[in-house]
């Protein structure tokens, strides 16, 4: 366990159309409905999980930190105000790469039947705003290069692609990219 200050804990948050509920194991029963849709896994990979697998994952994640304490884990379920159904999740993995620097790796998943309604943008924006209020000063996300909807969410969060790939996903960050050397072509996505 590190001697770092404790990690922030997820609290209920609200957006115009969404309620962000801190993750609980009890969410698994409802979440497995959208997580179990094979169409969802086109870009996020893997196979649709069973209810037991979702419960076990949520049990680990709801601890709020990694077993060794080196990461903070914040997870919210997105619940639509209209109709009251769970439509997706947003999460942040927190690290302290340098003393005084709190960094968040963001992720979002919206069930296939709820995509195209702006839920990921809204949920991610509400989460990022709250994280800034908690002292997070650097953001990143990994987005599949062909997942244009997730790229739009990253852009809405003022992230830009870095060209760095990890496990088939491109790193997006809010760090200012270095200026190209005179005569050098800027990396894809840079302006």
83-105 pLDDT, tens digit each: 999 999 999 999 999 988 999 99
Distance CA 140, CA 143 (A): 10
Mean pLDDT, range 59-63, rounded to an integer: 95
111-155 pLDDT, tens digit each: 999 999 999 999 999 999 999 999 999 999 999 998 999 999 999
Q: Please state the length of the chain.
A: 191
Long-range Cβ contacts of 117-120 (<8 Å, 24+ apart)? 118/17, 119/17, 119/18, 119/78, 119/80, 119/87, 119/88, 120/88, 120/90, 120/149, 120/150, 120/153
Q: Hey, where are the domains in the chain?
A: 16-173
Q: How confident is the model at residue 74 (pLDDT cuts 50, 70, 90)?
A: very high
15-53 pLDDT, tens digit each: 999 999 999 999 999 999 988 888 887 767 778 899 999
Q: Name the superfamily (CATH) of residues 16-173.
A: Gcn5-related N-acetyltransferase (GNAT) (3.40.630.30)
């Amino acid at each position: 366990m590190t001697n770092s200050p404790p990690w922030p804990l997820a609290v209920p948050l609200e957006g115009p159309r969404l309620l962000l509920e801190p993750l609980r194991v009890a969410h698994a029963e409802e979440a497995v409905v959208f997580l179990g849709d094979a169409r969802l896994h086109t870009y996020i990979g893997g196979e649709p999980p069973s209810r037991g697998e979702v419960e076990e994952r949520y049990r680990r994640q709801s601890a709020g930190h990694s077993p060794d304490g080196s990461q903070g884990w914040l997870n919210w379920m997105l619940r639509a105000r209209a109709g009251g159904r769970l439509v997706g999740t947003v999460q942040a993995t927190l690290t302290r790469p340098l003393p005084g620097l709190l960094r968040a790796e963001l992720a979002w998943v919206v069930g296939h039947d709820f995509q195209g309604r702006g839920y990921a943008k809204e949920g991610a924006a509400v989460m990022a705003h709250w994280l800034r209020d908690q002292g997070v000063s650097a953001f990143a996300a990994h987005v599949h290069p062909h997942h244009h909807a997730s790229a739009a969410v990253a852009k809405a969060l003022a992230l830009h692609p870095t060209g760095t790939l990890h496990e088939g996903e491109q790193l997006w960050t809010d760090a200012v990219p270095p200026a190209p050397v005179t005569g050098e072509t800027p990396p894809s996505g840079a302006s």
